A and B are shown apart, each in its own frame.
Chain A
Amino acid sequence: MTLPVLLFMASAAILILLLAWAVRPPRRSLTTEEALGALSEDRHYARMPQILQSLREDDTEFMRSRGQSELLGHVRAERRRIAVRYLTYLLDEYRMLVECSRAMAKLAPELSAKREYEHLKDYLRFVLICRSLQCRIVCGLEPWESFGTLSDMAGTMTLRLESAAARIGESALQAPTSLANQGSGDAE
Chain B
Amino acid sequence: MVEPLYLRDLAWAVAALLQVIVLFFIFRQKLLRAHPAFSGYILATFLQSFLVGWVGRHWGVQSIQYFDIAWGMQAVVICARWLAVMEIARQILADYTGIWRLASSILFVLCLAVLIYALALAQYRWTLMVLSADRAVELSIALFVVGMLIFARYYRLGMTDLERQLAIGFALFSCSWVVSNSLFESSRNPSNAWWDFFQIVAFLATLIIWANALRKPMYRASREALAELPPEKLAQLSLQANTRLRELNDRLNHLLHSKDSRT
Q: Which residues of A are at the interface with B, using a C-beta cutoff of 8 A? A: 1-2, 4-5, 7-9, 11-12, 15-16, 18-19, 21-24, 26-29, 31-33, 35-36, 39-40, 43, 45-46, 48-49, 52-53, 99, 102-103, 105-113, 116, 120, 144, 148, 151-152, 154-155, 158-159, 161-162, 165-166, 168-169, 172-173, 175-177, 179-180, 182-187
Contact = CB atoms under 8 A, between A and B. Distances in A.
B226 interface: yes
A52 B256 CA distance: 12
25 contacts: A4-B121, A8-B179, A8-B181, A15-B142, A16-B175, A19-B171, A19-B172, A22-B152, A23-B167, A26-B156, A26-B157, A33-B237, A36-B241, A105-B99, A105-B155, A106-B224, A107-B227, A108-B99, A155-B249, A155-B253, A162-B249, A168-B241, A176-B231, A184-B227, A187-B98
Contacts of A106: 96, 98-99, 155, 157, 224, 226-227
Interface string B100-137: 01100110000000000010011100000000000100
Contact of A169 (B150, B224, B239, B252): B239
Given A26-B156, A155-B249, 11 more contacts: A8-B121, A11-B139, A28-B156, A49-B258, A49-B259, A102-B155, A105-B98, A106-B155, A109-B98, A158-B249, A183-B228
B231 A179 contact: yes
Given A52-B259, A108-B97, A162-B246, A15 B102 contact: no
Contacts of A144: 263
B203 to A, nearest CB: 16
Nearest to B164: A23
A39 B231 CA distance: 21
Contacts of B216: none
A144 B260 CA distance: 11
B235 A169 contact: yes
Nearest to B95: A183
Contacts of A32: 226, 229, 237
B149 A22 contact: yes
B62 interface: no
Given A32-B229, A52-B259, A151-B255, A116 B97 contact: no
A155 B227 contact: no
Contacts of B191: none
A165 B228 contact: no
B154 interface: yes
Interface majority SS (helix, strand, loop, mixed), chain A: helix
Contact of B97 (A11, A33, A36, A182): A182
A29 B224 contact: yes
A28 B156 CA distance: 7
B246 A9 contact: no
Nearest to A168: B238
A32 B171 CA distance: 33
Interface of B: 95-99, 101-102, 105-106, 118, 121-123, 135, 139, 142-143, 145-146, 149-150, 152-158, 164, 167-168, 171-172, 175-176, 178-179, 181-183, 185-186, 224, 226-232, 234-235, 237-242, 244-246, 248-249, 251-253, 255-256, 258-259, 262-263
Given A102-B154, A166-B238, A185-B234, A12 B142 contact: yes
A172 B231 contact: yes
A39 B241 contact: yes
A39 B245 contact: yes
Contacts of B231: 172-173, 175-177, 179-180, 184
A158 B183 CA distance: 51
Contacts of B156: 26-29, 99, 102-103
Contacts of A186: 98
Contacts of A28: 156
B153 A22 contact: yes
A123 to B, nearest CB: 11
Contacts of B224: 29, 31, 106
A155 B252 contact: yes
A9 B182 contact: yes
